[in-house]
């Protein structure tokens, strides 16, 4: 029979696939001899079986009974005992941390009888009643699907009637009234009384946790974090320990280092006389962990010892949940903690310097996406700034947006293109969609371990929490400050997640220190003096020393090329020449395309040639000594011609007025002859070069002459020519023959030796399928994954992204946009096939990628696996590609080839 239940004494941290992260780590802490309450874990296999069959798998119930009996024996209490009841928590725990996305129920086992026994055995009636009212509201919300607002409103009304502000100020009579009111809410909502059977409570809670795996917020979070849908969640049944038993009790969340900044030392939030959800939900503003040392010094000292043990054991930042019950410390959870991008880099290097991990391990603990986040701008410190209030710096960043007071409104406004700051008293898991849609989050309650802070850090969103001067009224859609200032939905504010400051209006931004570092703007002293920049410098240097793939840049001007070189680019993988023909030169190209005779063609070419020579000379000079792949002109034809519809209207009006000229009619006829219904699949790329041969020959001559000029100037140019949109080798061959003839002619003219490779883009399915034929006439391949994605999927990017991509992502048809991350099964398979076919003809054929995917971290791993030699990305993404290419090398274990 399949084993579905594991006692905490049976597992360890390597079993996260089966026990989930929480269960595996509870078992690990038990194995280490740390104070963990007795309990057991129901496996992810049980969850998957339950979701597949709609009922619990055979044998699971009996195994739960056996495990519960063992828990009763160790805790010396019995589940459902009216005199001294065992109470348990039921908590979700997937392989990957999904904070707040699935269900948790505390105090399972309380009913009208056992609450009396709990009060008697503890001598604390208030504590027992408080635990019971928490169970009813939590069970009602998570298991029975009752809106949490109904319980919150009832509690607020009772507190108002009692003249108190905090839950802990409620009297015994107030708590009894709260319990009765909660029971009424349950009965009204479900038509049944609150369940008194403790085994029924347990069974329903377990089922609710299983089902929460497919809840809307869990699915949204998995899409956001790219977590597979087929993993399922484990369920952890743990003996309850109580932080709400009085002033010698409490609960908290701690980090072995600051998860926001990465600074060493214990950080965390703590509440006396509270249960765990009070800290995470931000219901009460928390105390700092140091405050615990004053009220409970022995428990605090033990906690610090445990934190040191766990960090040394896991060799990483640990996130810890704990409870102190009557002065005794209990560990309820540990995991490798989520952290901001800045903290990730600083902690990784700290651990190297402390001898806990190697440089290579450090590199595996940071990501290109995190580095990209560190390159985002920050607020300028000069000039006028209207400071409204200061909260807790929960997740770094500088975000400007319009206020939205609900998740629903945030989603609605963001869909119109507005940047949104979600403003709430505190967030809860139901706010996830609004948090995803927003650029920043501001709450008036909570701390660094609140739901808002943890989720924001995980998503790389700016967050300021615990801005308690701010009175947020979500119903009225206003926020007030003590000085009387009022802010409405839609008002513009700026939040600084690094300082916790909140400003009115829009604050200008400036380049981050990390971007300044990559731009070469910092001195060595400034680099070493900034812990974050020093960490980035340390890791990027190591990344460059081990990565297999080269990293080039997409750059169209000398200025872009110089910037890319400062960012660490090892050449240009794509110089788009069509961008050089915009502005004043557009008219010359139009005349070339519409020319009626050879003289007009010659005139246009003669005017363009010196301009192109200068363009290429400047780029080759900026990238002296490095390869520069120049793509021959590849625009849809309509980009260089007047708009046909507008021109037709203009001529028709002129005809009506008797003002039309023969030149107007001739132009309309010529444009009409060239007009295309689908220009992206029309006369462009190599087709344009074949139909208008003078255009390609002009560019080849300009590239050759620029190369010759640089050689005579004692430069070291490495120009390469790339022919775009080739579908058949029969298109490439005549272009190559003509190019080789021109290059030879220019070499003779200048008296220099020119070696200019001629390759092609693989951006059409047919090119990929016939790559072995094309390779015979190509010196290199560069995969144009933008067009390859369009033509493989049958998408017009400009149309489909706005039309239905959001719906496809929402429905899970896409895990991510195929234009952002390579589709490995379709487009990726064509890349893999073309690479193999090309190298079957030329084993050393250079292979690269120059689409936008070249700067996408996940796509870079795919390109490394396929065996490409380099990726090419925008200058800003070059550092990201350098880091991620090294991580890809480590993932594949292939360090044989050189970049």
Distance CA 218, CA 812 (A): 13
- Tell me the CA end-to-end span of the chain in Å, nearest whole number: 53
φ, ψ for residue 473, nearest 5 deg: -115, 95
CA atoms of 345 and 312, how far apart (whole Å):
18
**Tokens standing for 696?**
């390609």
Place of tokens 């589709």: 823
| Rounded-to-integer distance, Cα 120 and Cα 491, Å | 54
For residue 643, give every residue at least 6 positions away whose Cβ sits within 8 Å of its Cβ, in sequence order, or none.
none
Cα gap 730→732, rounded to integer Å: 6
Task: Dig out the tokens for 179 from the structure.
Answer: 């319990």
| Rounded CA separation 650/662 (Å) | 14
Bridging pattern class, strands 378-379 and 478-480: unpaired
Q: Is 850 a catalytic residue?
A: yes
d(CA 445, CA 733): 68
402, 718, 850, 853: the catalytic one is: 850
Closest by CA to 386, choosing from 493, 508, 509, 504, is 504
CA distance 379 to 397: 9
H-type alpha helices, 315-358 = 341-353
The three-state DSSP-derived secondary structure of 108-166 is: ECCCCCHHHHHHHHHCCHHHHHHHHHHHHHHHHHHCCCCCHHHHHHHHHHHHHHHCCCC
360 Cβ neighbours under 8 A, 6+ residues apart: 542, 546, 890
Closest among 213, 225, 131 to 172, alpha carbons compared: 131
CA distance 816 to 808: 9
> Which is catalytic among the residues 402, 451, 542, 718?
451
Q: 542-567 burial, b if ≥16 CB within 10 A, otherwise e?
A: bbbebbbbbbbbbbbbbebbbbbbeb
As a whole number of angstroms, the distance between CA 88 and CA 783 comes to 57
Identify the CA nearest to 493 among candidates 480, 477, 506.
506
Bridge-based pairing state of the strands 501-504 and 387-390: antiparallel
- Could you tell me which of 455, 386, 377 has the C-alpha nearest to residue 422? 455
CB-count exposure of residue 784 (10 Å: 0-12, 13-18, 19+): buried
Residue tagged 């160790």 (tokens)? 74
Distance (Å, whole) CA 781 – CA 802: 31
In sequence order, the 6+-apart residues with CB closer than 8 A to the CB of 798 are none
250-257 and 88-94 strand pairing:
unpaired
CA angle 386, 392, 394 (to 5 degrees): 110
- C-alpha distances in Å from residue 881, one per residue of 230, 402, 831, 861, 868: 30, 33, 19, 10, 14
Question: Which residue stretches of 505-643 are H helix?
Answer: 513-518, 524-529, 531-546, 558-566, 586-594, 598-622
Rounded Cα distance between 859 and 217, Å, is: 27
685 alpha carbon, distance to own chain's centre: 35
**Residues tagged active-site:** 451, 850
């Amino acid at each position: 029979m399949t084993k579905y239940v594991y006692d905490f004494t049976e597992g360890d941290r390597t079993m996260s696939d089966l026990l989930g992260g929480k269960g595996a780590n509870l078992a690990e802490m038990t194995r280490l001899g740390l104070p963990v309450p007795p309990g057991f874990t129901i496996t992810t296999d049980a969850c998957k079986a339950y979701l597949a069959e709609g009922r619990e798998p055979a044998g699971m119930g009996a195994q739960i009974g056996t495990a519960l009996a063992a828990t009763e024996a160790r805790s010396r209490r019995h589940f459902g005992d009216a005199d001294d009841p065992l109470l348990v928590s039921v908590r979700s725990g997937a392989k990957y941390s999904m904070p707040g996305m699935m269900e948790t129920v505390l105090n399972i086992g309380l009913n009208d009888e056992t609450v009396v026994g709990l009060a008697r055995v503890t001598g604390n009636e208030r504590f027992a009643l408080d635990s019971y009212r928490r169970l009813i509201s939590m069970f009602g919300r998570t298991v029975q699907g009752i809106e949490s607002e109904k319980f919150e409103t009832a509690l607020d009304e009772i507190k108002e009637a009692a003249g108190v502000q905090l839950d802990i100020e409620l009297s015994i009579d107030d708590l009894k009234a709260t319990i009765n009111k909660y029971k009424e809410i349950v009965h009204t909502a479900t038509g049944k009384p609150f369940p008194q059977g403790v085994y029924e409570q347990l069974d329903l809670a377990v089922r609710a946790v299983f089902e929460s795996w497919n809840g809307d917020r869990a699915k949204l979070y998995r899409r956001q974090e790219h977590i597979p849908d087929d993993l399922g969640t484990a369920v952890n049944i743990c003996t309850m320990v109580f932080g709400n038993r009085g002033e010698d009790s409490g609960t908290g969340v701690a980090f072995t280092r600051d998860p926001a900044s990465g600074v060493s030392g214990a950080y965390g939030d703590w509440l006396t006389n509270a249960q765990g959800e009070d800290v995470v939900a931000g219901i009460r503003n928390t105390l700092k962990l140091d405050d615990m040392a004053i009220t409970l010094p022995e428990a605090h000292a033990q906690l610090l010892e445990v934190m040191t043990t766990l960090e040394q054991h896991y060799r990483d930042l640990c996130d810890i949940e704990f409870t102190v019950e009557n002065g005794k410390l209990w560990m309820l959870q540990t995991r490798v903690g989520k952290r901001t991008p800045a903290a990730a880099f600083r902690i990784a290097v700290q651990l190297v310097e402390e001898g806990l991990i190697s440089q290579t391990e450090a590199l595996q603990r940071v990501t290109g996406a995190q580095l990209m986040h560190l390159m985002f701008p920050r607020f300028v410190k000069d000039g006028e700034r209207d400071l409204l209030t200061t909260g807790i710096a929960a997740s770094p960043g500088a975000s400007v947006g319009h206020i939205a007071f609900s998740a629903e409104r945030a989603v609605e406004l963001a869909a119109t293109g507005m940047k949104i700051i979600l403003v709430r008293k505190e967030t809860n898991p139901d706010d996830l969609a609004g948090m995803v849609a927003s650029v920043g989050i501001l709450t008036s309650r909570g701390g660094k371990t609140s739901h808002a802070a943890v989720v924001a850090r995980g998503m790389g969103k700016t967050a300021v929490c615990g801005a308690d001067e701010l009175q947020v009224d979500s119903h009225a859609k206003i926020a007030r400050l003590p000085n009387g200032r009022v802010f409405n939905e839609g008002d513009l504010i700026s939040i600084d997640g690094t300082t916790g400051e909140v400003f009115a209006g829009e604050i200008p931004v400036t380049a981050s220190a990390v971007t300044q570092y990559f731009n070469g703007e910092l001195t060595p002293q400034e680099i070493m003096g900034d812990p974050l920049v020093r960490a980035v410098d340390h890791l990027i240097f190591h990344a460059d020393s081990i990565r297999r793939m080269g990293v080039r840049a997409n750059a169209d001007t000398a200025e872009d090329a110089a910037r890319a070189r400062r960012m660490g680019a090892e050449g240009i993988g794509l110089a788009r020449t069509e961008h050089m023909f915009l502005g004043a030169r557009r008219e010359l190209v139009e005349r070339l395309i519409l020319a009626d005779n050879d003289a007009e063609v010659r005139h246009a070419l003669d005017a363009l040639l010196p301009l192109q020579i200068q363009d290429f000379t400047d780029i080759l000079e900026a990238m002296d000594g490095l390869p520069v792949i120049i793509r021959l002109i590849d625009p849809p034809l309509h980009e260089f011609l007047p708009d046909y519809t507008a021109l037709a209207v203009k001529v028709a009006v002129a005809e009506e007025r008797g003002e039309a000229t023969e030149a107007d009619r001739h132009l309309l006829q010529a444009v009409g002859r060239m007009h295309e219904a689908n220009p992206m699949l029309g006369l462009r790329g190599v087709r344009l070069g074949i139909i208008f041969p003078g255009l390609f020959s002009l560019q080849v001559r300009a590239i050759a002459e620029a190369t010759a000029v640089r050689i005579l100037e004692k430069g070291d140019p490495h120009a390469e020519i790339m022919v775009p949109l080739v579908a058949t080798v029969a298109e490439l061959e005549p272009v190559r023959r003509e190019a080789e003839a021109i290059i030879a002619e220019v070499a003779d003219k200048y008296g220099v030796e020119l070696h200019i490779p001629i390759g092609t883009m693989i951006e059409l399915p047919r090119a990929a399928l016939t790559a072995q034929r094309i390779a015979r006439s190509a010196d290199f391949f560069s995969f144009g994954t933008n067009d390859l994605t369009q033509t493989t999927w049958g998408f017009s990017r400009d149309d489909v992204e706005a039309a239905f991509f959001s719906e496809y992502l929402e429905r899970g048809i896409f895990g991510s946009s195929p234009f952002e991350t390579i589709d490995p099964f379709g487009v990726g398979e064509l890349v893999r096939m073309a690479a193999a076919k090309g190298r079957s003809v030329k084993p050393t054929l250079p292979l690269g990628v120059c689409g936008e995917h070249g700067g996408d971290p996940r796509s870079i791993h795919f390109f490394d696996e396929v065996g490409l030699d380099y990726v090419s990305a925008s200058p800003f993404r070059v550092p990201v590609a350098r880091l991620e290419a090294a991580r890809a090398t480590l993932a594949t274990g292939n360090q044989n080839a050189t970049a």
